[in-house]
Structure 1
């Protein structure tokens, strides 16, 4: 089994990291490190064609993200990180599964800027929290189109550009279907490109 297959096997059934024990985390981080050593894209921040698109989170050690699962009445659904390299925008979208008609959504918009061959800085700009039904949420692509057109989603649509919300991410592995990031807070993210989400426009 190659290192990519080994990693995917290690994180299978772990629900993005919610169902891991300490030994699981150690084994997964070891599998991640082995795959990073084989990174086929030496300058990932310059590989716009590979980076661009909708990425679905497979695994993370981020307590902030996994903590979303602690919302009362909600469970963590799919998490997407949608990159638009032409405009250097990133849309982090977390779906919350709850009582029927009360499914939630957390969406954070940011601007990213490459600062080295594998590092980008991230400046968070806007946060939206609400019920999918009220936001008329159908898919990441549709809400991104609405956001890019300037649509607002009151009352829980916040400008966070003036707050100290910035950081950096190292892209340590990138190919056509898999991306690994390491963040400034020490968190690791494993994402797969979601080709089922067609983009229009």
Structure 2
């Protein structure tokens, strides 16, 4: 989605030796509108401004200004991208963030994401890092189709052996402090007649940008806070396993690529191929 920024542009004055009328270049515009503007009788000679230099609007001494308007190509692309975003949202809706996804659902979601990624083009995080800022809600993860909270990595199963109900999942990103927190809401089953235990687990990370579109996160700590009826209990920091006791699949860090990013949607692909779709919360 192309964004045109109207920043401060130095005023450039053009004078013609045979005319007392001057012109001032102010803002970007299309060549066609500039040419039409200078074809008017007020300016006579086209040499008062070089209309071949695409991207200027000229203002005369009589304050006649040709205004900027986005090209039809830009409008059409923006509308097309909007329709592809809706197509992706439709493909992942009703899948319980991917926990209920079948093989066909996985293929449909992946195809819709690839179509959006292709049309929008590559992401440049160095130029668009401000768009990462905020609290993002996970609406789909292909990894959850494995029926474990760890996705393609080992993780607690969601089933009868360990009655865990997955709630909302968020990512909280602060581009200034480089904080990257995965926030997971969980419900743990308890023997009858005890009510289930509701809690929120925050997995704190630091992040760094690798290249144009890749992000590396490094794990720091996990904090668990009970909610609901037990919200008065203080948060608990889960002890971290020493590095030599961790399994090879859990090194405390990971990498993923941001393949689509705008002000309200983000698509990432993990280092094990996981497709994740987020919306700003």
Note whether the superposition's TM-score is higher than 0.5.
Answer: yes
Q: Which has the larger radius of gyration?
A: 2
The answer on whether the counterparts of 1:45 and 1:119 sit within 8 Å (CA) in structure 2 is no
Equivalent position SS for 1:38: helix
Shift of 1:40: 6.1
Equivalent position SS for 2:88: helix
Change (3 A) 1:161 1:10: farther
Shift of 1:108: 0.5
Match of 2:158 among 70, 84, 88: 70
Per-residue Cα deviation, 1:63-84 (whole angstroms, up to 9, x for no partner): 4445656173431110000101
Matched, 1:125 2:220: yes
Q: How many residues were matched structurally?
A: 179
- If the length of structure 2 is used for normalisation, what is the TM-score? 0.57
Matched, 1:174 2:269: no
Shift of 1:3: 1.2
Change (3 A) 1:92 1:161: farther
Shift of 1:49: 2.0
In the alignment, structure 2 segments of 5+ residues that lack a partner are 1-79, 190-194
- If the length of structure 1 is used for normalisation, what is the TM-score? 0.78
Q: Distance in 1 between matches of 2:260 and 2:84?
A: 12
Match of 2:270 among 183, 188, 191: 183
Change (3 A) 1:171 1:55: same
In the alignment, structure 1 segments of 5+ residues that lack a partner are 138-151, 195-201
Equivalent position SS for 2:95: coil
Q: What RMSD in Å do the two structures reach over aligned CA positions?
A: 2.6
Matched, 1:20 2:101: yes
Q: Which residue of 2 aligns with 1:149?
A: none
The answer on whether the counterparts of 2:267 and 2:277 sit within 8 Å (CA) in structure 1 is yes
In the TM superposition, what are the counterparts of 1:26-41 in structure 2 within 5 Å?
26-39=107-120
